Amino acid sequence: MQNVIPALIAAVFGSIFGSFTTMLIWRLHYDEPGICKGRSKCTKCGKTLKVKHLIPIFSWLIQQGKCGFCGAKISPFYPLTEFTFALTFFLFTQKFYGTWYLIPVLISVFFILILFWYDAVFMEVDRRISFIAIAFALGWSFSREFPLSAFLIGGLIGYGFYAIQYFCSKGKWVGAGDSELGLLMGLLLGWKFLILGLFFSYLLALVFTVPFLITGKMNRKTKIPMGAFLMPVILLFLYNGYVFWERYLMIFGW
């Protein structure tokens, strides 16, 4: 195992970013002021949490998922978010440590995970986050290993793919924010990985929803947060896109 120490340090920072994200998406969704100021409070008893209650992942585990003051249940959404950040920051740092790729890739991972959790929890795409992420991805595409056109074309295809579905279905098939996620995906992955990634996302969505459809817990009109499936696929491709591309081509004998 290479780069374990820097990867562990990145995981600690990742878990802190994860903790920040839980607060960020809550405040953005409910339009609460002061994204960066104000200490976290228990939503039940209103007491301001102490430092020992705010240690990512561990506080929740030690307190067995309950508030340290009133014993109210704390959603597993908090430690799960922190854990996904810690794990991805660990894996990406381990893989890309010592390359110039590391910083832009970690920034991308940060945005992708915020968008993932936002969509998974609230079933919507927050445009304030997606636009910042798009601006970042666009800037990064000027200095990458593929020609700029690969990313710009990717962005256009990704945007168009969802925009067409949105207009044809008058917003019934996909949400308004999904075209921005398509744009982001194309800008981050380039058009080849975008096409393969879209295919993968739908497979993932299918695998996830079929059990619910069979048991009648979902029907064809149930809304599916597409971003929750697009974002993990972007992570997979940023991590190891070439492997997927080669295997995919091999299936078709190219």
Q: How far is CA 124 from CA 31, 85, 92, 128, in A?
A: 14, 20, 27, 12
For residue 42, the minimal CB distance to Zn ion (Å) is 3
* Contact criterion met (CB below 8 Å) for 101 and 234: no
Choice between 48 and 240, CB closer to Zn ion: 48
Residues that bind Zn ion (CB under 5 A): 42, 44-45, 67, 69-70, 72
For residue 86, the minimal CB distance to Zn ion (Å) is 25
What are the φ and ψ backbone dihedral angles of 66, each rounded to 5 degrees? -125, 155
Choice between 44 and 95, CB closer to Zn ion: 44
Choice between 70 and 210, CB closer to Zn ion: 70
For residue 43, the minimal CB distance to Zn ion (Å) is 8
Choice between 40 and 165, CB closer to Zn ion: 40
Choice between 3 and 40, CB closer to Zn ion: 40
For residue 145, the minimal CB distance to Zn ion (Å) is 50
For residue 46, the minimal CB distance to Zn ion (Å) is 7
